[in-house]
Structure 1
Amino acid sequence: MDSTLIMINELLVQLFNDVIQIEEQSLKNGVLSDISITEIHTIEAIGMYKESTMSEVAQKLKITVSTLTTAINKLIKKGYVERKRIEEDRRVVLVKLTKRGKLAFRLHERFHREMVNTAIDGLNLEEEEILISSLNKINHFFVKKYKLE
């Protein structure tokens, strides 16, 4: 592998690991110390403003409904999520965020906004556009190669 490929590989791996570690630290040291990264991403997938079906949320997270059910049960116990069935079709289960869940959503959203702002701080418009283009190309490669969508 030539030095450019080695450097890009090291940077991608380091960035991925750093984001996960920073996110974990942020959760542990903040108001949301009782939830995991997986749980906060479940909250994010449910969304802020509407009820979602379990199937919709599972699809967003690319997990099975039974796996999601386990996560939702934990989030209900912790007070972040509410669940109900539709009267017309009792098989359909809806989930929505509680007030506490919405707070978690907003805090996580703020964390990501601050992270991105810090990452692009000092870049000019052209550099931002190059970064966006490069990240889009990398993302497209992974989606296509590993059939992620």
Structure 2
Amino acid sequence: MIKEIDLHDRHLACQLLELQRASYQVEAKLINFFEIPPLKESLEELIECGETFLCYFEEKTLAGAISYTVDGDEMKICRMVVNPDHFRKGIAQKLLREVESRNSQMSVYLVSTGKDNPPAKNLYLKNGFTFVSDIEVVPGLYISNFEKRKVKEA
């Protein structure tokens, strides 16, 4: 089941923070960079981040989450996290489809991930995102940027 959560529910926010740390720890190992901001984020910072979160629950267990912001007709996916115990179950795919479905009026969807994170890059490419560029955000760390544009009907 996928549902939007209220981060002011501290119990859910704590679960999300734990999930986020577990998931980003895997990415940190892949990209060999352990200063990913969500790994350092406090509970209060998460609660006040201003992002909308859709969470995937298996039974009552929080197994994955996606967050995003909207600016005009542009949606930016900020986070995609899946509990490592639930990898390869299609959870990220389901979350991505759901966030696009709920925001189908958007013209542009943006997302970034570590350049050396093949699973995330493959997820976005197989879902119609186009590679835009790699940017060095700190010495030796590159982020790959992707976008998906919808053609507006005349």
**TM-score bracket, shorter-length normalisation:** under 0.3
- Indicate the structure (1 or 2) with the bigger Cα radius of gyration: 1
TM-score (norm 2): 0.27
TM-score (norm 1): 0.28
- RCO comparison, higher one (Cα < 8 Å, 6+): 2
More strand by percentage? 2
